[in-house]
Structure 1
């Protein structure tokens, strides 16, 4: 493990964070990379509330799709929170004042994405859940919720399942026969734009939009499609690039149009391919034994003994080691390409 990543891991090895949080609350919208238990009681195959998930997490298998902490768990710690942000499924009372996690495994920008796995909470539904939270915060604070909420940070990481659990499943979804990859990126960005506007309308003023990563390099997609001699599934990565290439200008547009808000773009693709990245880690195998149909860990099977040397815990999701490196660079950019125009640390300070 590179020295900088080792130091991050050392500093965040416990849950104790000294000092008050840098912001009053942190709200999280996303998919399985951020889910911390919202899918647990849904009728869905997109679940991870069983061992060997959570083998390195303080509370065991909670519904996080990794061996330990997720990226947003670590970002919350870096922001100074001494507790993880609770899932909407269980967040009640004053807990909501520090933020809520709405993320749902298999969820997408489009409502239908991921539905072949069962009930999932799409971004539109997550926004509806946030409106419920806003009303709860209003009730607790006695009507001063806007001044409170606009100091908080919001991270939104969506789009992976609109590709992996929609566009690249032509036997289930018609989107790939309806749109070229370029057209599909257009359609997704237009819908995403409206959803992010809705979030702004609900009081969000500090928003970090997380781009798509190397979707075509996940073991599950390589197993499914093959690589034709490349290292990864190029057609999937190329589609993700088309989406990202429109997402960063969208962030710039929001900053131009909404003078009272600050949006930023977290460049997952660049973080994955520049700097220390995942050099030296095993990327061509999964740490846990996976269900070949779902790409998730087979329940109760023993995973690899050294989780710190693997990129992927299951067929889609990174290990805590990789999450540590990504979260560190999203929070405090190592390179200018990591985040634009701000990293999360600077977004918090604005």
Structure 2
């Protein structure tokens, strides 16, 4: 009996040591990221897909000046959030992380991934939101033994931050893709309903897997990205493709209602909405930025492997801190830092709802 008590005490002490070690200076014990190329940090590298960023000039401003699989010149939004949360290092990709290292969290994001399983299929393999959730289940199965039992794992996971930034590819590489997909026949309202129904199931599943503090990014103004401006006509003197932004706005409005519903119905749930439109249009933009709709890198053209992405080993602008976009789809590090800063600590009341990430993790 005494030996059993000592063993249980030793296991509890070990668990507490692991947790205290992991959470030193961090605002949360772990950080899990779900999303697409805005957050991908290497998960697509081993996949057979056109959606890859494992070649120069991607990563030109990342430590070591190496391409890691991030679709930008340096850090992405997830990396910047990890810094604000006081993690000593970026959250590692699921594809390359095993053992105790996963206790600090994992990045499951995948370039071309969408809420719908078939979004992005035109580019090849990708880890859609449902596959990312399956990978998270596999992670949880490893966490329980590391912390001693499932109860300890549940308590631990309840304290973590979860960020979900996905949905752009459901529009870019599904609803508005060329040639048209079957979804293109739906009205914008009907397509948004389909997305929300699927996303609701996924966010409920994430809650069932132990998440309680969840920040969900809305879809940004993708009608203003260089590639969509190149592909679709602009009307009424607008600088952006208004029809695309209107359709995305319908989805975002329904997403806000979904977030409110989850917070009402799920015990102890703390979901919050990150308003990318408010962040993009409300208040001052990133200091020093002057180029708002041109890519910094030389991009691939129609007929190339991945039109709109950086040309492998192509030229790149020197004044990267003056550009919003690195390629025709993805923001520069300075833009990512700006977005993450407003998501973490709202500048305007409309940036987040009901709270920003800083308040969410307190």
TM-score range, shorter chain: over 0.9
Q: Which runs of 5+ in 1 are unaligned?
A: 1-17
Query: What does 1:145-156 align with in structure 2 at a 5 Å threshold?
Result: 145-156=153-164
Distance apart, 1:172 and its partner CA: 4.4
Counterpart for residue 42 of structure 1:
47
Alignment partner for residue 140 of structure 1, among 125, 146, 158? 146
Provide closer, same or farther for how the CA distance between residues 163 and 230 of structure 1 changes in structure 2, counting only shifts above 3 A. same
> Which digits, 9 at most, give the CA deviation of each residue in 1:84-127, with x for residues without a partner?
00000001111100000000000000000001111000000000
Q: Is the 8 A contact 1:52 1:301 kept in 2?
A: yes
Instruction: Give distance in 1, aligned partners of 2:124 and 2:346.
Output: 37
Question: Counterpart of 2:41 in 1: which secondary structure?
Answer: coil
Runs of 4+ in 1 over 4 A off after TM superposition: none
Distance apart, 1:281 and its partner CA: 2.2
Counterpart for residue 292 of structure 2:
283
> Which digits, 9 at most, give the CA deviation of each residue in 1:289-327, with x for residues without a partner?
111242100001120001000010000100011111111
> Which digits, 9 at most, give the CA deviation of each residue in 1:169-192, with x for residues without a partner?
252411011x10011001100110
Alignment partner for residue 22 of structure 1, among 4, 22, 27? 27
Query: What does 1:1-350 align with in structure 2 at a 5 Å threshold?
Result: 20-59=25-64, 60-143=66-149, 144-169=152-177, 171-177=179-185, 179-228=186-235, 229-278=237-286, 280-293=289-302, 294-349=307-362
Instruction: Give distance in 2, aligned partners of 1:170 and 1:283.
Output: 24
Question: Counterpart of 1:89 in 2: which secondary structure?
Answer: helix
Distance apart, 1:230 and its partner CA: 1.7
> Which digits, 9 at most, give the CA deviation of each residue in 1:104-154, with x for residues without a partner?
000000000001111000000000000000011112111121000010000
Q: Is the 8 A contact 1:36 1:64 kept in 2?
A: yes
Counterpart for residue 7 of structure 2:
none
Question: Counterpart of 1:277 in 2: which secondary structure?
Answer: coil
Question: Counterpart of 2:95 in 1: which secondary structure?
Answer: coil
Please, what TM-score do these two structures have when normalized by structure 2? 0.90
Instruction: Give distance in 2, aligned partners of 1:325 and 1:208.
Output: 17
Instruction: Give distance in 1, aligned partners of 2:148 and 2:92.
Output: 22
> Which digits, 9 at most, give the CA deviation of each residue in 1:192-222, with x for residues without a partner?
0000000001000000000011100000110
> Which digits, 9 at most, give the CA deviation of each residue in 1:39-78, with x for residues without a partner?
0010000000111000000142000000000011000010
Please, what TM-score do these two structures have when normalized by structure 1? 0.93
Q: Is the 8 A contact 2:33 2:162 kept in 1?
A: yes
Instruction: Give distance in 2, aligned partners of 1:215 and 1:139.
Output: 42
Q: Which runs of 5+ in 2 are unaligned?
A: 1-22
Question: Counterpart of 1:345 in 2: which secondary structure?
Answer: helix
RMSD, matched Cα: 1.3
Q: Is the 8 A contact 1:19 1:80 kept in 2?
A: no
Counterpart for residue 15 of structure 1:
none
